Amino acid sequence: MRSTEPDPYQRGCPSRRLLDRIGDRWTVLVILTLREGPRRFSEIRRRIDGVSQKMLTQTLRALERDGLVTRTVHPEVPPRVVYELTALGRSLIGPLDGLLGWATANLPEVEDAQEGYDRELLRTPR
């Protein structure tokens, strides 16, 4: 591997910070909400229960800066602002869908494991 290739195992590599951003819960939920088509801020916020205005604003701005989402202001009164995935953003749907799909499919098994772990810890504390 050339030393200039992205390597998230190296602490200084920007790919590690990119990995942080795309693995973030709000990024996952926003990108997968926008897979259905362009949406207004209020529509996205309604879809993602419990996201604060501030957090959604920050997330959308980071996605816009990373080239994953476009923000279009339609000159109406009041102006209509619409968010939409770019081609690059759409290429993330597959990986993020894999992540979210794994979490929903395997939650029961994970919860069983947690119960077993906690029970065992009560019997024989480390």
Can you give the binding site for a copy of itself, defined by CB under 8 A?
A: 5-11, 14-16, 18-20, 22-25, 28-29, 47-50, 64-68, 88, 91-92, 94-96, 98-104, 106-107, 109-114, 116-118
**CB-wise, 23 or 38, nearer to a copy of itself?**
23
> Which two structure tokens, joined as six digits, stand for 125?
């504390």
Smallest distance, Å, CB 37 to a copy of itself?
Answer: 16
Could you count the other beta carbons within 10 Å of the beta carbon of residue 38? 13
H or E element that contains 8:
none
Q: Distance between CA 43 and CA 62 in Å, rounded?
A: 18
Smallest distance, Å, CB 2 to a copy of itself?
Answer: 12
**CB-wise, 3 or 104, nearer to a copy of itself?**
104
Q: Distance between CA 24 and CA 90 in Å, rounded?
A: 17
Smallest distance, Å, CB 77 to a copy of itself?
Answer: 19
Q: Side chain identity at 24, as an amino acid letter?
A: D
